[in-house]
């Protein structure tokens, strides 16, 4: 019988008090282009987003520097956002442009402005606790063919995660085994590469024939090749090449989050499908809907885990668990001052998991599950399905 001193402790740690330096996605740009102010909860506060007469999207801190009015409840007047409390007008450059009842605007009337960018039809802001200028060289890549209409429209989803720090998402990059237990698939090949501001997971897998949920809803007839890259601390592009009974489709899943507090975040994910050449729009839309449902359900399996687990700063790992600690060291670069980023956070690191032993056990377990199901169906007089 183990004693308290022999048992390994579970260190839940303390969530970081600062927020990640880098580009953060606020959602599809079109959702902010209706002439109204929009509220985004972020970084222990609120942001206001609106479009000006030139079509530019502007992002400021959500509270007026005059007397704290909520700018997201104000009104867009001309190019400016007007506070609902005293009608102070704030421009996209962060400066107060007018106070209708005053002779002049105070020289120091300036609020916090976020630099913006639009990539892949999505609005990004630059955030740095040190206040550095935006580094546009590390923006996520623009997906080739997206602007040219080669992909279906984005299917976009938003969910709030309470009680977890956003690092819980990042750990998945190095987590091979959860694909079997959470997503019901066999990872036959799994490799990580971390370098600079990017962390990539390469994986090949097939569906589990004993399950019909999420990624495995197509069963063993599904072969999946996946390449998922985080561009900075909070935005991942996941290319998914799907082969279902010889029908090949390219799917792109975007997973992005923005911290709302040290222990909560807003999670957004979008899915699009490349249009097969020569296929009519109705059929493309049907295929896109099917894959959106399949991969959306798979992603929600992760969400369920995140909403219910606890943080572990000292995970107890086995050989097949992948480079979790190295991944966390890579991620740390976004939470320290720029001057404190050390080479081991950004130098190229590669690791390939040997999936042999895992697949031996998993295939045996699946065979046992199928045999048990067949026996139960035969005993009940039902037809046996495989």
Residues 306 and 251 in one domain: yes
Region 346-366: mean pLDDT is 97
Q: What is the pTM of this model?
A: 0.92
DSSP 3-state of 18? coil
| Rounded Cα gap, residues 187 and 201, in angstroms | 12
C-beta separation of 25 from 139 below 8 A: no
Residue 329's alpha-carbon distances to 80, 123, 341, in angstroms, are 42, 28, 10
Helices (H), 260-355: 281-308, 324-332, 343-346
Residue 7 belongs to a domain: no
Nearest to 235 by CA among 268, 193, 278: 268
Contacts of residue 262, defined as CB under 8 A and 6 or more positions apart, other chains included, come to 15, 16, 17, 44, 165
Average model confidence (pLDDT) for the chain? 92
| Bigger pLDDT: 382 vs 94 | 94
Residue 377 lies in a domain: no
The better pLDDT of the pair 381, 358 is held by 358
32-68 pLDDT per residue, tens: 999 999 999 999 999 999 999 999 999 999 999 999 9
In-domain check, residue 121: yes
Same domain, 57 and 201: no
Same-domain check for residues 237 and 179: yes
| Domain assignment of residue 131, yes or no | yes
pLDDT (0 to 100) of residue 168: 86
Same structural domain, 108 and 195: no
Supply the DSSP symbol for 110: B
Confidence band for 189, pLDDT divided at 50, 70 and 90: very high
Cα–Cα distance measured from residue 119 to residue 32, given in angstroms and rounded to the nearest whole number: 15
* pLDDT value of residue 85: 98
Cβ-proximal residues to 49 (8 Å cutoff; 6+ apart), any chain: 26, 32, 37, 38, 39, 40, 57, 58, 59, 123
- Same domain? For 255 and 312 the reply is yes
Selected residue with higher pLDDT from 375 and 85: 85
Range of the domain at 70: 22-138
Share of the chain above pLDDT 90, in %: 71
CATH code at 189?
3.90.380.10
Whether residue 72 is found in the same domain as residue 204: no
Q: Are 139 and 23 in contact (CB under 8 A)?
A: yes
Q: What is the CATH number of the domain that holds 55?
A: 2.102.10.10
**CB neighbour list of residue 368: distance below 8 Å, 6 or more residues apart:** none
Residues 242 and 334 in one domain: yes
Distance in angstroms (rounded) separating the CA atoms of residues 139 and 78 = 30
Alpha-carbon Rg for the chain in angstroms: 24
Look at 127 and 285; give whichever has higher pLDDT.
127
pLDDT band (50, 70, 90) for residue 6: confident
Q: Looking at the 3D structure of the chain, how many domains does it have?
A: 2
Does residue 85 fall inside a structural domain? yes
Instruction: Check whether residue 196 and residue 72 sit in a common domain.
Output: no
Note the pLDDT tens digit of each residue in 205-218: 998 888 865 555 55
Asked whether residue 166 falls in the same domain as residue 80, the answer is no
Does residue 381 come out as left (phi exceeding 0), alpha (psi in the -120 to 50 range) or beta? left
Q: Residue 376's pLDDT band (boundaries 50, 70, 90)?
A: confident
99 and 169 part of one domain: no
In a domain, 374, yes or no: no
- Residue from 215, 43, 227 nearest 141 by CA: 227
The sheet that has 235-244: what strands, in order across it?
155-162, 264-273, 247-261, 235-244, 222-231, 198-207, 185-195, 349-353
């Amino acid at each position: 019988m183990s004693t308290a001193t022999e048992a390994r402790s579970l260190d839940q740690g303390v969530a970081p008090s600062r927020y990640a330096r880098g580009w953060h996605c606020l959602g599809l740009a079109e959702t902010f282009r209706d002439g109204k102010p929009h509220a985004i909860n972020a970084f222990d506060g609120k942001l206001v987003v609106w479009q000006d007469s030139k079509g530019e999207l502007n992002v400021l801190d959500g509270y007026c520097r005059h007397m704290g009015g909520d700018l997201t409840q104000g009104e867009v007047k001309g190019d400016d956002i007007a506070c609902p409390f005293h009608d102070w007008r704030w421009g996209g450059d962060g400066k107060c442009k007018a106070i209708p009842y005053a002779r002049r605007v105070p020289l120091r009337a300036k609020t916090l402005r976020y630099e913006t960018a639009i990539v892949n039809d999505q609005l990004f802001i630059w955030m740095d606790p040190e206040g550095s200028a935006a580094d546009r060289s590390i923006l996520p890549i623009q997906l080739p063919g997206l602007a040219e209409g080669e992909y279906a429209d984005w299917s976009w989803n938003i969910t709030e995660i309470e009680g977890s720090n956003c690092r819980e998402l990042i750990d998945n990059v190095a987590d091979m085994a959860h694909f079997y237990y959470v997503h019901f698939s066999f990872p036959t090949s799994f490799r990580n590469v971390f370098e600079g501001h990017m962390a990539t997971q390469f994986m090949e897998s097939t569906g589990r024939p004993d399950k019909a949920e999420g990624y495995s809803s197509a069963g063993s007839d599904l072969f999946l090749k996946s390449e998922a890259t985080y561009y900075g601390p909070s935005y991942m592009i996941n290319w998914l090449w799907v082969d279902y009974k010889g029908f090949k489709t390219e799917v792109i899943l975007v997973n992005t989050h923005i911290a709302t507090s040290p222990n909560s975040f807003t999670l957004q994910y979008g899915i699009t499908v490349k249009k097969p050449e020569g296929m009519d729009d109705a059929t493309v839309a049907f295929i896109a809907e099917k894959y959106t449902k399949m991969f959306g359900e798979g992603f929600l399996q992760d969400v369920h885990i995140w909403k219910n687990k606890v943080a572990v700063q000292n995970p107890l790992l086995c050989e097949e668990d992948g480079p979790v600690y190295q991944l966390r060291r890579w991620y740390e670069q976004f939470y320290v001052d720029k001057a404190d980023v050390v080479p081991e956070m950004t130098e190229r690191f590669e690791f390939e998991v040997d999936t042999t032993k895992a697949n031996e056990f998993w295939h045996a377990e699946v065979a046992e599950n199928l045999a048990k199901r067949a026996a139960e169906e035969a005993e009940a007089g039902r037809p046996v399905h495989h």
